[in-house]
A and B are shown apart, each in its own frame.
Chain A
């Protein structure tokens, strides 16, 4: 079988596996949520309403139905891409919730990843280019520190220094309260403000985004720094690098064009998965920075036992992870000719 044929089969099998994976995750979330004590009625009412009022509300919300029937109803809706309606914000569909909150998460994720890649690759390359030097040791230390520092703690520290003490950045939220946020098709303030040609809105958006995205970016950069450093060190010892040197190719070109390019292949995998995981809600960062993203909203929904919202958002995240991992595999297959199926 030719390589392209094998790749096609591989992609097809991955695509066929994705719905099974989504079904498994959905079922698992459905069952786990029901196994958790309490329900939305308890979360909303507390001890304030009579048992009759609580039962009535459960009946309305369909929580009185047998578990199997609830599951069948939910899966039936899911097949029609209907994620249901929130139990706590009644009248609001889960798709509306996703539409409201997801752009903020995307914005934070994309910019954090850019920061993480920039810092991680730079420090990793610098450290790998000077093995066993103080720079190398510094790179290692940076990688370990950024990987191990808790996001909420780093976030609070960054806020304290840059927002409270220095006053350089605003505290939390996506946009200045005293200005009208950009209104556009994407819901991404940075992009919408540019589409509207409004530089002031763009700068305000950037100003509000800077601190959370730098915090998250720096914390994530450690992963990339370590991968780049380790892989680049190994790659620089590879035969093809020696061959390139023997052909008289300049050393800096060998490093940048040959070694670094190959050393970045694992970064693609990690990048994709980290990106997908972040889209799955950088909950701690969002909570720390009062960033109104989907992770923050999911946390609220879990607290309130809002089953449809939790299930819908998790399925949505799972779909993103599935698509991302398939995309990574395809990309890796094209980038790395050594990969076989």
Chain B
């Protein structure tokens, strides 16, 4: 049977038809949508809304249950808090309050005068009752960040129509800073309920310059709130496009599908965009980040229970090499747990140098280690972080090359969720981690790491912050100093105490600060006012087209 002859004509026609159809389909779809695509890009001056692309996932918009960078940033733009930071600075300024709090002599009672004439997005009037409701709901609904206030606040009451009184359990100097946490935003009592687990993940009714228009699966739309009490936004709304991968975000920006790219672009992508910035007319916006990357050392584990070994590890960490080889010069070397954006920062780990093998050898020899009896340390990192995997490999390479076998690093990885389950159980001798602040105060870089509620010098921390972090470091002096600085309202005296704590941190090395991530965003030509705040927030209202 000769099929080719019989069928060739028919198949030819079929193939032609199919080919032609496919071509027409592609052309129609791509051409017909060109208009729309153009409108969605910068060419579309007819679209006055700002398009922001990000890879950060928004789990919930309920301020009482929101504890991630992405939702925090949205709440920061959608809502108002009692206090905020003056844009571009770390200067605390009243937002829904009209002045800084009046503090009682015993430092336990904060009286806060509130702004009048403020409306919620649903038209409800803002007053002290509403603010008290918001803060009480934050604590009583038992959401993920509830402990931030619950551990400190005794009660929140409206003591006048526009006067709020907050009583603390113990004095806490950084309390006004804590009130800048995005989750403490005022929310309408008409739209929310108080009660354990009563959350609304996909709505937000606050007082901010934007109101939530759509909380979709791949897009979040914010409309301008016309009755906003403060300065109106410079744009007519913000559309946030959620990408699942940084490569999509990167390509979407390159093809001008979005106005601003903000989120987790990786180092190569940032470098690639940087190269093109001048030619394409793009803007690169950077800011000193406040994400601290560090290594936690379990002081109860062998051989890290010897302070010399911990100091030796601190000495061989070469931050400059890490920055060049792994972080592509997009990070900053860090020599204390407190970032250098704070005046209280002291670069205490500089005393060990960077990649200082001689000092490390000397310390290890002093501790009784040698080539015949090397110090073997496991370096653990999260398996879902390429960056940390490379950092760990680089550290191992440094040790292998420079330490003549006296220090041997073994690399181990585990998925992050598993790691966090086991961190406070003392399973890992070391771990590479990062930390972003809940509120912008040095206390938030010290207390969660070094504090301890229960422990001893011999057995280490049994219950408390340092145990949570997997360090188990216990030092009565440090615990007392932390308490002191939390109660000290005199700035200079507080800085002095924080300096002391940092000195002890460098001496005992329960943690090794490594680098500080810089924050990056990119904006298209013609997009103005894109600013990354020192608090790691991207302010939407200042962006204009």
Residues 216-246 of B contacting A (Cβ, < 8 Å): 216-219, 239, 241-245
Q: Are B144 and A172 in contact (CB under 8 A)?
A: no
Q: Are B62 and A91 in contact (CB under 8 A)?
A: yes
Residues 286-314 of A contacting B (Cβ, < 8 Å): 286-292, 296-297, 300, 303-305
Assembled-state Cα–Cα distance A190/B470 (Å): 52
* Minimal beta-carbon separation of B428 from chain A (angstroms): 11
Q: Are B3 and A255 in contact (CB under 8 A)?
A: yes
Q: Are B30 and A57 in contact (CB under 8 A)?
A: no
* Minimal beta-carbon separation of A136 from chain B (angstroms): 11
Identify which of A43, A45, A50, A290 contacts B245 (C-beta below 8 A): A290
Q: Is A240 an interface residue (CB 8 A)?
A: no
Q: Are A156 and B468 in contact (CB under 8 A)?
A: no
A77-110 toward B: CB 8 Å interface, digit per residue (1/0)?
Answer: 0000000001011111000000011001000000
* Minimal beta-carbon separation of B423 from chain A (angstroms): 6
Q: Are B11 and A129 in contact (CB under 8 A)?
A: yes
A207-234 toward B: CB 8 Å interface, digit per residue (1/0)?
Answer: 1001000000000000000000000000
Q: Are A178 and B36 in contact (CB under 8 A)?
A: yes
Assembled-state Cα–Cα distance A171/B14 (Å): 32
Q: Of the 9-residue stretches B39-47, B101-109, B367-375, which lies at the interface with chain A? A: B39-47
* Minimal beta-carbon separation of B452 from chain A (angstroms): 11
Given known contacts A38-B421, A118-B18, A178-B44, is B201 in contact with A89 (CB within 8 Å)?
A: yes
Identify which of A45, A251, A291 contacts B144 (C-beta below 8 A): A45
Cβ–Cβ < 8 Å partners of B62 in chain A? 90-91
Q: Is A49 an interface residue (CB 8 A)?
A: yes
Q: Is B433 an interface residue (CB 8 A)?
A: yes
* Minimal beta-carbon separation of B325 from chain A (angstroms): 26
Cβ–Cβ < 8 Å partners of B244 in chain A? 172, 286-287, 290, 296
Identify which of A45, A50, A92, A297 contacts B201 (C-beta below 8 A): A92
Q: Are B218 and A200 in contact (CB under 8 A)?
A: no
Cβ–Cβ < 8 Å partners of B424 in chain A? 47, 51
Q: Of the 9-residue stretches B167-175, B252-260, B476-484, B534-542, which lies at the interface with chain A? A: B252-260
Assembled-state Cα–Cα distance A290/B47 (Å): 23
A242-276 toward B: CB 8 Å interface, digit per residue (1/0)?
Answer: 00010000011001000000000000000000000
Q: Are A204 and B36 in contact (CB under 8 A)?
A: yes
Q: Are A104 and B468 in contact (CB under 8 A)?
A: no
Q: Are B201 and A47 in contact (CB under 8 A)?
A: no
* Minimal beta-carbon separation of B81 from chain A (angstroms): 20
Q: Are B219 and A49 in contact (CB under 8 A)?
A: no
Which residue of chain A lies nearest to B198 when distances are taken between CB atoms in the complex?
A91
Cβ–Cβ < 8 Å partners of B47 in chain A? 178
Cβ–Cβ < 8 Å partners of B199 in chain A? 90-91
Q: Which of B143, B216, B417 has the most chain A CB within a 10 Å cutoff?
A: B417
Q: Are B36 and A251 in contact (CB under 8 A)?
A: no
Cβ–Cβ < 8 Å partners of B255 in chain A? 163-164, 167, 171
Identify which of B28, B257, B464 contacts A50 (C-beta below 8 A): B464
Identify which of B3, B251, B252, B438 contacts A129 (C-beta below 8 A): B3
Which residue of chain A lies nearest to B150 when distances are taken between CB atoms in the complex?
A53
* Minimal beta-carbon separation of B467 from chain A (angstroms): 8
Identify which of B1, B257, B469 contacts A47 (C-beta below 8 A): B469
Which residue of chain A lies nearest to B7 when distances are taken between CB atoms in the complex?
A129
Q: Are B144 and A47 in contact (CB under 8 A)?
A: no
Assembled-state Cα–Cα distance A303/B420 (Å): 13
Given known contacts A50-B465, A173-B243, is B32 in contact with A207 (CB within 8 Å)?
A: yes
Q: Are B252 and A90 in contact (CB under 8 A)?
A: no
Q: Which of B26, B59, B197, B418 has the most chain A CB within a 10 Å cutoff?
A: B59
Q: Are B433 and A47 in contact (CB under 8 A)?
A: yes
Assembled-state Cα–Cα distance A287/B32 (Å): 26
Cβ–Cβ < 8 Å partners of A236 in chain B? 1
Q: Are B11 and A126 in contact (CB under 8 A)?
A: yes
Cβ–Cβ < 8 Å partners of B202 in chain A? 89, 92
Assembled-state Cα–Cα distance A174/B214 (Å): 15
Q: Is B51 an interface residue (CB 8 A)?
A: yes
Q: Are A44 and B67 in contact (CB under 8 A)?
A: yes
Q: Are A104 and B217 in contact (CB under 8 A)?
A: yes
Cβ–Cβ < 8 Å partners of A86 in chain B? 201
Q: Is A177 an interface residue (CB 8 A)?
A: yes
Q: Are A303 and B417 in contact (CB under 8 A)?
A: yes
Assembled-state Cα–Cα distance A43/B218 (Å): 22
Residues 15-61 of B contacting A (Cβ, < 8 Å): 15, 18, 26, 28-30, 32-33, 36-37, 39-40, 44, 47, 49, 51, 57, 59-60
Count contacts on A: residues with CB < 8 A to the other chain: 76
Given known contacts A90-B201, A91-B198, A133-B4, is B248 in contact with A171 (CB within 8 Å)?
A: yes
Q: Which of A53, A60, A290 has the most chain B CB within a 10 Å cutoff?
A: A290
Identify which of B15, B49, B464 contacts A178 (C-beta below 8 A): B49
Given known contacts A90-B199, A287-B244, A290-B245, is B36 in contact with A200 (CB within 8 Å)?
A: yes
Identify which of A100, A164, A178 contacts B251 (C-beta below 8 A): A164
Q: Are A57 and B248 in contact (CB under 8 A)?
A: no
Q: Are A174 and B218 in contact (CB under 8 A)?
A: yes
Given known contacts A38-B417, A207-B29, is B197 in contact with A60 (CB within 8 Å)?
A: yes
Cβ–Cβ < 8 Å partners of B36 in chain A? 176, 178-179, 200, 203-204, 207
Q: Is B448 an interface residue (CB 8 A)?
A: yes
Q: Are B251 and A122 in contact (CB under 8 A)?
A: no
Which residue of chain B lies nearest to A49 when distances are taken between CB atoms in the complex?
B147
A46-72 toward B: CB 8 Å interface, digit per residue (1/0)?
Answer: 111111010011001000000000000
Assembled-state Cα–Cα distance A245/B11 (Å): 20
Q: Are B417 and A37 in contact (CB under 8 A)?
A: yes
Q: Is B163 an interface residue (CB 8 A)?
A: no
Assembled-state Cα–Cα distance A304/B67 (Å): 14
Assembled-state Cα–Cα distance A57/B144 (Å): 7
Cβ–Cβ < 8 Å partners of B151 in chain A? 50
* Minimal beta-carbon separation of A155 from chain B (angstroms): 10
A130-144 toward B: CB 8 Å interface, digit per residue (1/0)?
Answer: 100100000000000
Q: Are A60 and B142 in contact (CB under 8 A)?
A: yes
Identify which of B28, B241, B420 contacts A45 (C-beta below 8 A): B420
Cβ–Cβ < 8 Å partners of A101 in chain B? 217
Assembled-state Cα–Cα distance A181/B438 (Å): 36
Assembled-state Cα–Cα distance A341/B239 (Å): 57
Assembled-state Cα–Cα distance A160/B463 (Å): 52
Q: Is B422 an interface residue (CB 8 A)?
A: yes
Q: Are A122 and B147 in contact (CB under 8 A)?
A: no
Given known contacts A38-B415, A42-B421, A173-B243, is B217 in contact with A47 (CB within 8 Å)?
A: no
Q: Is B457 an interface residue (CB 8 A)?
A: no
Q: Which of B40, B144, B415, B470 has the most chain A CB within a 10 Å cutoff?
A: B144
Q: Is B386 an interface residue (CB 8 A)?
A: no
Cβ–Cβ < 8 Å partners of A9 in chain B? none
Identify which of B18, B142, B415 contacts A56 (C-beta below 8 A): B142
Identify which of A37, A133, A179, A289 contacts B421 (C-beta below 8 A): A37
Q: Are A252 and B10 in contact (CB under 8 A)?
A: yes
Assembled-state Cα–Cα distance A56/B143 (Å): 10
A residues lining the B interface (CB < 8 Å): 36-39, 42-51, 53, 56-57, 60, 86, 88-92, 100-101, 104, 118, 122, 126, 129-130, 133, 156, 159-160, 163-164, 167-179, 181, 200, 203-204, 206-207, 210, 236, 245, 251-252, 255, 286-292, 296-297, 300, 303-305
Q: Lowest 5 CB-CB distances: which A-B pairs, in order?
A: A38-B417, A207-B33, A292-B217, A178-B40, A91-B199
- 18 A/B residue pairs, CB under 8 Å, sorted by A: A38-B417, A42-B421, A44-B144, A45-B67, A46-B420, A47-B420, A47-B468, A51-B468, A89-B60, A91-B198, A91-B200, A129-B4, A170-B33, A176-B33, A178-B47, A203-B36, A252-B7, A304-B417
A91-B198, A179-B40, A292-B217 are known; give 20 further A-B pairs, CB within 8 A. Answer: A37-B418, A38-B421, A47-B420, A47-B435, A48-B438, A49-B144, A51-B424, A53-B147, A88-B60, A89-B59, A90-B197, A91-B199, A130-B4, A173-B218, A173-B243, A174-B218, A177-B219, A178-B47, A179-B36, A200-B36
